[in-house]
Amino acid sequence: MTTLIKRFFLPAVLSCTLLSVHAAPAAKYKTNLPPSVELAYAIKARQRGIPVDGEATLRWSTGGGRFSVINEARAILIGKILDARSEGEIDPFGLAPISFTEKRLRKESATTTFDRAAGTIRFSASDHRYPINGGEQDRNSVIWQLIAVARATTGKIKPGTSWNFFVAGLRDAEQWTFKVINQEKLRTALGELNTLHISRVPPPDSKEQHLDIWLAPSLEWYPAQLRFSDDNGDYIEQTLQIVRKKDS
């Protein structure tokens, strides 16, 4: 009997330990997707303690019930320091990612897959599994989901409010809370822009990146500036230079 228990029940128990709990769907907000666009940025960064300058390109495409986001950053003398790609479908929650791949400087590429047929989020870099209940995002798509929410709820997304999303990274997933900090003027190559500063600060015990976003309502709510910060002092800051509208 003991042998039978080990043979048939133990594997089931072990497989269950890989399935992390996410009991409820993410918050379901109204969304209004922005037009397809290619955004060019100047970047200032610190990588492994070394200050560097460079350029970045952010490509957002939507049409035919699908979307894609590509964020590439290059630093002078170093080369590509970030290549993040997300693609998926549009559903009643807004963006519904299917895959997310990220490659950072001196780190292996990793992919997060949203297997919608199986109803599971899985990771190439870990054995964690999460159920898909609706509204889940990846670290790339969540910025554009936030933009879509801001465009649809302009009277509600204001300083002091918080907006929650369930976000998958490269190894696991967790609840993200974006806090609207303030309305701020930002100097860019396009002139001075009125922006809404929104910040995501991870929990104290988390080693996840800090993320600050400055959205420009006058430019379809596109990101006028993005800043990704690590606890070790490394960061990538992207400031908008050029807006190239695309056909959806």
Where along the chain do its domains lie?
20-245
CB 112 within 8 A of CB 129: no
- Mean pLDDT on 58-76: 95
Select from 16, 40, 13, 3 the least CA-distant residue to 223. Answer: 40
Per-residue model confidence (pLDDT) at position 79: 85
Torsion of CA 38, 43, 49, 50, to 10 degrees: 120
Q: How far is it, in rounded angstroms, from Cα 227 to Cα 44?
A: 9
Nearest-angstrom CA–CA distance, 115 and 113? 6
Residue 22 has pLDDT above 70, yes or no: no
Mean pLDDT of 163-187: 94
Q: Are 137 and 168 in contact (CB under 8 A)?
A: yes
* Mean pLDDT computed over 232-245: 92
Q: Tell me, what's the pLDDT at 23?
A: 44
- Residue 117, Ramachandran bin (φ over 0: left; ψ between -120 and 50: alpha; else beta): alpha
Q: What is the mean pLDDT of residues 85-104?
A: 96
Instruction: Collapse the DSSP code of 28 into the 3-class scheme (helix H, G, I; strand E, B; otherwise coil) and give the result.
Output: coil
pLDDT value of position 121:
97
Domain at 20-245, CATH class: mainly beta
Check whether 211 has a pLDDT greater than 50: yes
pLDDT of residue 133: 94
The model's confidence at residue 20, banded by pLDDT at 50, 70 and 90, is low
Rounded mean pLDDT of 175-184? Answer: 95
Count of positions (residues) in the chain: 248
pLDDT for residue 1 is more than 50? no
Which pLDDT belongs to residue 177?
93
In a 10 Å sphere around its CB, with 0-12 CB exposed, 13-18 middle and 19+ buried, how is residue 63 labelled? middle
pLDDT over threshold 70, residue 115: yes
Phi, psi torsion values for 10, nearest 5 degrees:
-65, -45
Q: What is the pLDDT of residues 117-149, one digit of tens each?
A: 999 999 999 999 999 999 999 999 999 999 999
pLDDT (0 to 100) of residue 154: 86
**Choice between 229 and 60, residue whose per-residue pLDDT is larger:** 60
Mean pLDDT of the chain: 87
